Amino acid sequence: MSVNLLKSAFRFMLLMSFLSLMAFSSAEQVALTPPTGLKVLDTPNDTGETLLITWDKMPYEGPGIRYIIYRSESADGPTTEIVSLPSDREYASQMPQYFGFKKQNKNIHAYRANPIWKMKEVKRTKLDGIIKTSQGRDTAVETFFQLAVTDGKKIVMGNEIVSGVPVPNWFRKDRANGMVILIIMFIFVLFYISKAQRNPNVFLRKIPGIDAVDEAVGRATEMGKPILYSTGYYDITELSTICSVNILAHVAKKVAQYDSRLIVPCKWPVAMTVCQEVVREAYINAGRPDAFNIGDIYFIAGEQYSYTVGVDSLMVRERPAANFFLGTFAAEALILAETGASTGAIQISGTDSIYQIPFFVVACDYCLIGEDLYAASAYLARNPRLIGSLKAQDAGKLLLFIAILIGTILITFSPFYPDAEWLQILRNFFTVR
């Protein structure tokens, strides 16, 4: 019985060996032939630095088969090998930014290659005055390409020799989504500015800390103590300082109405002059021009820590009931805020300096973080252009949120529908590059 089993097993092994040999022989029958469909295309959406080489998928592709790309300056050679690629990689379907989402891209190979460049001498003068000459790229010349295939034993050269010259593109189509968003934002800004000009009291989202402004002025009036206001480190040329001055106008008007005292120590002479005129106009609008005291808005020092020491001594001496630190601040932020907190004053701060926000958050009662400073300026000034910009910014944030949501959904479901070209195009549009 055991002998019969051994004979059967031996026959089965012979049969399997024969079938394997036949399969191997049939695979060997697919001989290597010259690759076809070789083309050279200019790479779209670039600055003219690369070329796209494409060729057809061949029937003999598989493990051990590789494509070799040769490059030369003329059709007659000599050629230089630039890359050797596995036959099962580098498909046009892997480059949708260049070839789209067509189904036939799975049967086309694609490779991004560099052309041959004409070189030129570039002279650079070093710090010690020595002129150093080196070679740099000038312009790309017409570059010829030829394709070959190999199985590791022999190389079969292609019959086609193609050439191309890269051309810079004026417009990047893959970034058209950014242009669309920019145009939409412009439309939002113009629309909301026009709307704010017709109705300056248009609804604006609530900004934390704005209500505390009137509370701080009222508290100072009840205590019979002054209010200190600082526009920050920079001169009037900076956007944050301009926003701070807009808020100063609102604070000054409230101070004039409550018949309190406003002190504005300045770090820059030009900013001081602007603050004086803004406060003067606020007192006039409040019907109290006689209460305006130009001596309370003065220049302290142009140096950072000289100004800081001056403001600190002012807070310790005058003991203001409310301190406003609105603008861009640097290392003096914590020094000013801690000194003000030690005097027991209510403090409202706001800055666009990301490094100083944590200090203001800890040491002050209220803090306008980042762009809330600009929003507060528009909120209080009620200038139609500022209001329109603020509303457009909020609309842009909502639009961006919707775009992120749609993009996330498309990225999630697009792998389940690889043949849906419209879905892939939408996903590509919502991709940021």
**24 pLDDT higher than 50:** no
Buried b (16+ CB within 10 A) or exposed e, 131-164: eeeeeeeeebeebbbbbbbbbeeeebbbeebbbb
Q: Which two tokens mark 188?
A: 């939002």
Over the stretch 37-61, which tens digit does the pLDDT of each residue have? 999 999 888 888 899 999 999 998 8
Buried b (16+ CB within 10 A) or exposed e, 83-95: eeeebeebbbbeb
The pairing of strands 117-125 and 155-164 is unpaired
Between CA 230 and CA 393, with CA 361 as vertex, the angle to 5 degrees is: 80
Average pLDDT rounded to a whole number, residues 76-85: 88
Over the stretch 388-404, which tens digit does the pLDDT of each residue have? 888 888 888 888 898 88
**3-class DSSP state of 64:** coil
Among residues of the chain, what percentage have pLDDT more than 90? 35
Q: What is the mean pLDDT of the chain?
A: 84
**4 pLDDT higher than 70:** no
**13 pLDDT higher than 80:** no
Over the stretch 152-167, which tens digit does the pLDDT of each residue have? 888 999 889 999 999 8
Domains of the chain in sequence order: 39-170 (2.60.40.10), 175-195+387-429 (no CATH), 202-381 (3.40.50.1220)
Average pLDDT rounded to a whole number, residues 24-29: 45
Radius of gyration for the chain, computed over Cα atoms and rounded to the nearest angstrom: 36
Q: What is the band of 181 on the pLDDT scale with cuts at 50, 70, 90?
A: confident
pTM of the model as a whole: 0.64
**337 pLDDT higher than 60:** yes
Over the stretch 86-108, which tens digit does the pLDDT of each residue have? 988 889 888 888 887 788 888 99
Q: Which comes out higher in pLDDT, residue 79 or 103?
A: 79
In order, the DSSP letters of 44-59 are: TTSSS--EEEEEEPPT
Q: Which comes out higher in pLDDT, residue 234 or 132?
A: 234
Q: Which comes out higher in pLDDT, residue 127 or 100?
A: 100
